[in-house]
Structure 1
């Protein structure tokens, strides 16, 4: 029926056309694209909400070519009036993998002497990184500064995540230092990406220095970073450093989850005596949090690979009167070994 109305060339209000494109977009993206082209052929543009919905569905359907056809017509007919309109085009082209087209649109923004939004650069950088185009990424980074556009936290995170994935620790360190020089505060994502890579490369002292920076910045950020740091150390089998870090964390940093991660990993590899010693340290130094840590630890043991080590830990805890007879693990052991 909609096709008959459109192809019959009946006069239709813009509101009706927008509803037509928007409602069909979720069901038949090809049909919605056809209605959108009809609308543009009449010299009328879809509203922003409808265009965004259509583009999202074209991305999901991996129909970037169709999206570019629509954007090309919109650009020719003067749809983009400001940097925000151009950003919508650049971001969706990047999302659809149309990197060259997105870059060409960004160049048009400069020619029109509009100030490119940092979000446009970020969208294009994400697209380039997804396609492993690192040389163009570096070129775009230089162009961004030449245009007077300063990177934000998201810009750094895009690049740091990609360079950590590639194992380029020197590039990551330069970006990390550059953030501080420009007064851009790293977030949890920045720290965890960098620290995880350093641990994988056995650069524990450097990882510790980065973690200390998070401590001086914000206690909440440091708490999230701490969990990732301890997990990364445990995966590398470096329990000595993990224990040292946990024993030096300031009291204002929430560390319950990190203690549980460390204790669980120690148990999984059979380092039961070390786990017991660390629990004693927690009882002496973090008494207010001790029972919560114990509860979380005992609950986490259900995913342990070795019942033997769990049994050994539970028996040791029972002998130290840290676990009573009513504990589920004690009941289970009585049933299994009875």
Structure 2
């Protein structure tokens, strides 16, 4: 039901149901929190999604890579790159195994917003983290370099 309410963009009903589940049981799990954070981020309520992450942690639920993807995407789409970088570092430091999609979201939005050097630095560190760039990674880097007037770098 939570997913249905989120997809219908009925976040108030979603949160009422969440609080009811929280009070009566069973305890919401990571999937429940991920569904809520995704719904909130899609509606532009990124601050609420971040608050939900804090509650999730406070109640002993462990975020996973989907949690990270939802929040990174939401923060980046809301032009909150500094917060996205903070979250990214915290997730990486927590030993959560971040996949290339997490890096792609951040690299892509860094490049789109003109922070090409930070995106480039992150791109070059991929191998340090045991990851290989994919087609999307190369595409956002090439696009970022071209937009910054750096065709040699793009090449």
TM-score normalised by structure 1 residue count? 0.41
Q: Using the alignment, how far apart are the partners of 1:137 and 1:219 within structure 2?
A: 28
In structure 1, the residue matched to 2:67 is 190
In structure 2, the residue matched to 1:266 is 144
The answer to whether structure 1 residue 236 and structure 2 residue 123 are counterparts is no
- After superposition, where does 1:134-283 map in structure 2 within 5 Å? 134-218=11-95, 220-247=97-124, 251-257=128-134, 260-269=138-147, 270-273=149-152, 275=153
**Bigger RCO of structures 1 and 2 (CA < 8 A, at least 6 apart):** 2
Q: Using the alignment, how far apart are the partners of 1:241 and 1:221 within structure 2?
A: 18
Following superposition, the deviation at residue 140 of structure 1 comes to 1.0
Q: Using the alignment, how far apart are the partners of 1:196 and 1:168 within structure 2?
A: 12
- Conserved? CA contact 1:219–1:252, under 8 Å: no
Larger radius of gyration: 1
Q: Using the alignment, how far apart are the partners of 1:266 and 1:133 within structure 2?
A: 36
- After superposition, where does 1:65-144 map in structure 2 within 5 Å? 124-144=1-21
User: Larger deviation: 190-199 or 229-238?
Assistant: 229-238
Following superposition, the deviation at residue 255 of structure 1 comes to 4.1
Following superposition, the deviation at residue 216 of structure 1 comes to 2.3
- Conserved? CA contact 1:220–1:254, under 8 Å: no
- Conserved? CA contact 1:220–1:253, under 8 Å: no
Query: 1:174 and 1:146, CA in 2 relative to 1: closer, same or farther beyond 3 A?
Result: same
- Conserved? CA contact 2:68–2:88, under 8 Å: yes
- Conserved? CA contact 1:157–1:189, under 8 Å: yes
Instruction: State the Cα RMSD in Å.
Output: 2.5
After superposition, what is the alpha-carbon deviation per residue over 1:187-238, rounded to whole angstroms, capped at 9, x for unaligned? Answer: 2222122112212222211101111122123464254311221122223333
**Equivalences, count:** 153
Residue segments in structure 2 that go unaligned for 5+ positions in a row: none
- Conserved? CA contact 2:72–2:88, under 8 Å: yes
